[in-house]
Amino acid sequence: MINYAHDHARQILKIPHSAVLATVGNAGVQVSEFPCEAVDLDMYLALPRTSDHLFNLEQDCRVALHTEQWELTGNGRVLGPKEKRPEIDLVHETKASWYVLVKVVPNRIQVLRPDGWGAAETIDLTSFR
């Protein structure tokens, strides 16, 4: 069962190419859509260097991501300049000098019903870490 849940989570995370990020902190509640990419169970988002989300992440790493297929909660952090990830397409698609990569490690994913409101299933990822 654990292998199924892990594999299913990896498959659904690869579907979107953008996600709505929600953060909270001294910059207030921030909600914005950004390009994203999944690598295994981690999500990477490209954020402009001027985004208030970055200020919020310095104070509180908790984030929420939302797409048409799923919602997730987890912890995010800005990758430093020495943490290059050349295998991530976002690095090549964006104007790197204007963007920073944010890594989100999901704790829980709720797979949304394709035909309506609510979650069809919940995958708890804390046991995979």
Q: Do strands 30-39 and 119-124 pair parallel, antiparallel, or not at all (unpaired)? A: unpaired
- The pLDDT of residue 4: 82
- The pLDDT of residue 2: 61
Q: Which domains does the chain have, with CATH numbers?
A: 2-128 (2.30.110.10)
Residues 6+ apart with CB under 8 A from 16: 36, 67, 68, 69
- The pLDDT of residue 113: 87
* Whether this model's pTM surpasses 0.85: yes
In Å, how far are 24, 39, 69 from 13, measured between CA atoms? 23, 9, 9
